[in-house]
Structure 1
């Protein structure tokens, strides 16, 4: 295995985060921040998902009951928006890594750092403080494209994949609410 300069691993990590960002956006998430940092640590991705529930189309209005002047016998539907915040930790690893694809790197100490960093984000953005929050983990694998022809990888079973430069990145697993404190 070649010894890469430290900047190589930062680039690989950022490319893994880019892949997860693209996947989250394709599934309806709004990316609020990338690499949010404070004195406690860094959160790779902070995303918001907004879900509208209730009522039938054309009935009611956003955020409240139906409008004025409804005809008698017609019911109004309550349409409510629910927003969820996800604080996403991305672990990008090559095949054959030592820490179970990065899963083992999410120690209780790392979880506590993420929790404190999330608290700092919510203090900085109090309009989001009442949203349900969760901590997700994204496991991203990568492999040199030249080696893909000779090896069968889990890229075929990936949730999402992309070729970037001379590497193929694949989202192996996305774990919603991976931990809570």
Structure 2
């Protein structure tokens, strides 16, 4: 049995979907003292997408993780992104954006439309919302 956490499974699902959309994954779970960026990918147009992945059960209280992207969380992500750019000058001239991916999981197959679905650890994981340029600094 795979021992990945629910969040890691959600991130892997999103990374696989992004690759199917011609994105190139540059970093996963990039960390610094300021915070973490779940996924960093080069979009087909060469924009650097900084992707926050929220994985929730179907019985969640925060609109599938969307409410967790509060103004304070956005500020923290911006500061973390600034540190990433400073440490990776080879990508500093490219445009950047923040994307949000919402993933749900359940023991039963989800009846809502999904962009991408996978079964892992006896759970159905579905990427149902991908918001490009979800927030600005």
| TM > 0.5 fold call | yes
Aligned to 2:124: 168
Give yes or no for the alignment of 1:11 onto 2:5. Answer: yes
Q: What is the number of residues matched between the two proteins? A: 135
The gaps in structure 2 that reach 5 residues or longer are none
Aligned to 2:68: 105
**Normalization by structure 1: what TM-score?**
0.72
1:78-97 matches, within 5 Å, as: 83-97=46-60
**Normalization by structure 2: what TM-score?**
0.94
Q: Which has the higher contact order (CA 8 A, sep 6+)?
A: 2
Which one has a bigger Cα radius of gyration?
1
Give the superposition deviation at 1:115. Answer: 0.5
CA RMSD, 1 decimal: 1.4
1:5-154 matches, within 5 Å, as: 11-51=5-45, 83-144=46-107, 147-148=108-109, 153-154=111-112
Per-residue Cα deviation, 1:73-99 (whole angstroms, up to 9, x for no partner)? xxxxxxxxxx20000000000112010
Aligned to 2:133: 177
- Alignment partners' CA distance in 1, 2:44 and 2:117: 25
- Alignment partners' CA distance in 1, 2:125 and 2:65: 15
Give the superposition deviation at 1:153. Answer: 2.6
Runs of 4+ that moved beyond 4 A = none
The gaps in structure 1 that reach 5 residues or longer are 1-7, 52-82
